[in-house]
Structure 1
Amino acid sequence: MTTQAEPRRGGRGARQRIIDAAVELFYREGINATGVERLAAEASVSKRTLYQHFPSKTAVVKEYLRYIGQTVGDPVHPGEKAPRRSPRSRILGSFETPPSAGLMRGCPFHNAAVEAADGMPEVHDIVEAHKRSYIDAMTDLARQAGAANPKSMGHQLAILFEGAAAMSTSLNDPAPWTYARKAAQTLLDDAVGRASA
């Protein structure tokens, strides 16, 4: 989940370097395992500078999640070519195996929800909003694809997606994505077939 190729250095752009370091460290090593000192060192800033940009580690975590939601990739709206793809193709595209260099780490939003537990309630709000938005987008795509019950289909697809992400992480194996895609195809065939019957 690396977001930049050039080494980080001091000077301008400290806020973005902090976010870039958070994207790398929080995802690869975990939110709780990454202390503020390590985050500052990786971003080539002092702790004082970090706290000038973010008043707390929770504030860094919140910005990390917002940044990921906007930049890393959205399987439902995967770029400018998405509108030219059919709704079915976009649904199935969300089940393509994510690129991985080494260990599979799963969904950063799910990981944040687990790590935040009761210690960062604001993080749960961001995660919940993201997941609800994903379900809504899947429901809308299911409706566009002609599903008989798009709301039910949207929830089923979201559960398949979450299951594939969790299982591939637990097993460190991309195979669950292949099985989830096949299950999504079956669900779509059944849902669209019932709608046209």
Structure 2
Amino acid sequence: MSTDVEPQRGGRGARQRIIEAAIKLFYQEGVNATGVERLAAEASVSKRTLYQHFPSKTAVVEEYLRYIRQHVGDPIHPDADAARRSPRARILALFETPPAGGLMRGCPFHNAAVEAADGMPEVHEIVEAHKRAYVDGLVALVREAGAANPTLLGNQIAVLYEGAAALSTSLNEPEPWTYARKAVQTLVDAAIKRASA
């Protein structure tokens, strides 16, 4: 998932600049590694201004995750162009191999959950809601594709997605996405074949 956002400098829109800085820094450097001073500097605001918009760093993390959830493309609930593709094609599109050469950082929701540990329960609630909605969306998508046992298949695809994201991050290599895509294609085609038999 790309989170490249070029922050604006100075002037109005401090809240949006803080969110944009959080998108960049939290994803690339990590939630815990990014201090409030660094976040304020990247957003071109004072710490005072940051705290006027967000009462705590945790509040910034929460808004960062909400913003990503609302504004990043979603193949499960796609825009009009992506919706023209078949459900099977949309499932496989989830596993397109990211371009090589960039730093693999994985899922921002998973990363935030790991970094939040027990210190930010509100963050865990946002992550859990997102992941549950994601699995539910996969189940609906495989049902639409005509697969047998969509609950099982949707959950299997979710596990493969999470595994590909984690392993590509650990190895800093895109190949896990290729392997996961092949596994998903096999599972989806077999489930569709069973349903039509």
Once the two structures are superposed, the pairs formed by residues 14-163 of structure 1 within 5 Å of their partners are: 14-99=14-99, 102-163=102-163
Deviations 1:72-116 (A, max 9, x none): 222323432122111000000111123566210000000000000
**C-alpha distance in structure 1 between counterparts of 2:8 and 2:82, whole Å:** 33
TM-score, normalised to structure 1, is: 0.95
Alignment-mate amino acid for residue 32 of structure 2 = N
Deviations 1:124-159 (A, max 9, x none): 000000000110110001101111100111100100
Provide the secondary structure at the position in 2 that maps to 1:81: helix
RMSD: 1.2
Q: Which residue of 1 aligns with 2:175?
A: 175
Structure 1 stretches of 5 or more lacking a match? none
Alignment-mate amino acid for residue 32 of structure 1 = N
Q: Which residue of 2 aligns with 1:191?
A: 191
Residue 11 of structure 1, CA deviation: 1.9
**C-alpha distance in structure 2 between counterparts of 1:19 and 1:100, whole Å:** 27
Matched length:
195
Provide the secondary structure at the position in 1 that maps to 2:80: coil
**C-alpha distance in structure 2 between counterparts of 1:78 and 1:103, whole Å:** 26
Classify 1:65/1:100 alpha carbon distance in 2 versus 1 (closer, same or farther; 3 Å). farther
Provide the secondary structure at the position in 1 that maps to 2:161: helix
**C-alpha distance in structure 2 between counterparts of 1:27 and 1:72, whole Å:** 13
**C-alpha distance in structure 2 between counterparts of 1:72 and 1:146, whole Å:** 27
**C-alpha distance in structure 1 between counterparts of 2:100 and 2:108, whole Å:** 13
